A = this chain, B = another copy of it.
């Protein structure tokens, strides 16, 4: 299970001023607690500052975090003018978050994925929008796989995001994406799937609980990556437990270790 730590995002109230004022200690603390909690990638986003300031601030985030920690980053932007200089600074294999089938976005970001050999999140969206049904999502997933692998990008580098919509908008949306995940994993063996968990609970009370349970349901359908807050202890306990139950934890060693470290009994 690949975990992308979502906390360092300028759309979050406490993060924006820290990025804007280049508060190194605050950002390093945010990075450190996500890494310690199990993040494989630390996502960095400076999108709210507009296209003029985003490149500089994204680069600052990459340099600041990698100067201190031996970790890799998820560069969270649709803007190639921010992604490219950040990639040039980045050490190790980065993740680009994200590409889609929107023409302009695809054409400007795909060459960066290919040339820098990054992992990439590929969203089921195109210039007509983000469809909410199973078959339209699946069709976009198929096009993404076909086009990206056609450019020589390996399946193992591609994380398809079927895009989760809030169940408060339509009560079928949660189930549809679960089915989509399973179909993608079955029909394109070797590709990965990823979701941003928190969309599912938008507009409902006690969103943590919905996100925590949706992760389990999605893992049950084959999801193998997620954008989430790894400092949410119950979310991570559920993840560890689901891995034991889904035969992703031989002899339940991780589960038993997590229990020994007090990470389950919350």
Contacts and interface: CB of A to CB of B under 8 A. Distances in A.
A89 interface: no
B210 A213 contact: no
A167 interface: yes
Contacts of A205: 256, 259
So how many copies of this chain end up in the complex?
Answer: 2
A206 B238 CA distance: 13
Report, as a range, how many residues of chain A touch the other chain. Answer: 35 or more
| Majority DSSP secondary structure for residues of A touching B | helix
Contacts of A255: 204, 210
A175 B245 contact: yes
A174 interface: yes
Interface string A172-206: 10110010000000000000000000001000111
A171 interface: yes
B245 A213 contact: yes
A48 interface: no
A237 B217 CA distance: 15
Interface of A: 167-168, 171-172, 174-175, 178, 200, 204-206, 209-210, 212-214, 216-217, 219-221, 237-238, 241-242, 244-247, 249-252, 255-256, 259, 264-265
9 contacts: A171-B249, A174-B245, A175-B245, A178-B246, A205-B259, A206-B259, A212-B241, A213-B216, A220-B221
